[in-house]
């Protein structure tokens, strides 16, 4: 547990908080003193994660949300308002993956990815602006983009398009919300060890020949390893902390150097 507890008294809502990057960020924010809301469509997993945080002496609660449904997002905002009356930190992390070539991708699958990965973050922010405006110091929106939102990648048209939209949504929202003292930034993870790293055949992306040859052996990831959720949590905490009070509209790549070698 952090000795600094620099987020004491702040309410942080993290979508996709039940596992992976979302849980990594939520854990760090809770260790710094924030009361975290693990907002996830996987309610059982979110409740288990919240119970583990509570058992560690941290403040956490699990609440259900389907970020692709406007009514569900509005219901989450209303419940957070009822329980806490405000929200200092919103982390838009929830996302889904899809590996499909443009020639075989179905329109409905493309639209589903866009609805979750792009529209979900925008709906969350729109619905939580009133709670952020009611909050105290340290009001932040942190979006989880991806280096795929900055670079091309085979068979990732829908995912890359959505994450690219998140990049510019971050910049545009930062301009709109600066007058209220709300900073909006994003991290852009590279390869991170999460459930999305498991391939359709059950194998881990890290164990594939293409990954080990290109990114480890030949150093396309200079640090020569997958990222971990904890690697995302430190930069996320910085952008949610008072150390970043003059930082807004920025995209921070957290990728072991991968984007430097493209």
Angle at 119 between CA 141 and CA 103, to 5 degrees: 130
The total number of residues written for the chain in this structure: 262
For residues 18 and 21, what is the distance between their CA atoms, to the nearest angstrom?
9
Assess contact for 121 and 92: CB atoms under 8 A: yes
Q: Kindly provide the b/e burial profile for residues 183-215, where b requires at least 16 CB atoms within 10 angstroms of the residue's own CB.
A: bbbbbbbbbbbbeebeeeeeeebeeeeebeeeb
Active-site residue (options: 159, 180, 206, 215): 159
Both structure tokens of 243 = 């150390």
Q: Where are the beta strands (DSSP E) in the chain?
A: 11-15, 35-40, 60-64, 89-92, 140-144, 183-189, 251-254
Query: Is 218 among the residues known to form the active site?
Result: no
Q: Are strands 251-254 and 60-64 parallel, antiparallel or unpaired?
A: unpaired
For residues 185 and 22, what is the distance between their CA atoms, to the nearest angstrom?
16
Active site residues: 159
């Amino acid at each position: 547990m952090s000795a600094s507890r620099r987020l004491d008294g702040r309410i942080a809502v993290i979508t996709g908080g039940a596992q992976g990057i979302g849980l990594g960020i939520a854990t760090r924010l809770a260790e710094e003193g924030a009361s975290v809301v693990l907002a996830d469509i996987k309610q059982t997993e979110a409740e288990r994660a919240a119970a583990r945080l509570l058992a560690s002496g941290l403040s956490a609660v699990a609440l259900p949300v389907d970020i692709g449904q406007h009514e569900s997002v509005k219901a989450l905002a209303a419940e957070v308002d009822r329980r806490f009356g405000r929200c200092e930190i919103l982390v838009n992390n929830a996302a889904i993956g899809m590996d499909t070539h443009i020639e075989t991708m179905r329109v409905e699958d493309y639209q589903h990815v866009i609805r979750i990965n792009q529209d979900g973050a925008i709906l969350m922010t729109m619905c939580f602006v009133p709670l952020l405006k009611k909050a105290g110091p340290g009001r932040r929106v942190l979006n989880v983009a991806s280096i795929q939102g900055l670079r091309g990648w085979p068979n990732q048209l829908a995912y890359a398009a959505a994450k690219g939209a998140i990049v510019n949504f971050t910049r545009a929202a930062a301009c709109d919300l600066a007058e209220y003292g709300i900073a909006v930034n994003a991290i852009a993870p590279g390869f991170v060890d999460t459930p999305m790293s498991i391939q359709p055949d059950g194998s881990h992306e890290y164990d594939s020949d293409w990954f080990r040859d290109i990114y480890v052996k030949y150093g396309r990831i200079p640090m020569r390893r997958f990222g971990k959720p904890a690697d995302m949590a430190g930069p996320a905490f910085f952008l949610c902390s008072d150390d970043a009070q003059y930082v807004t509209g920025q995209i921070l790549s957290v990728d072991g150097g991968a984007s430097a070698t493209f």
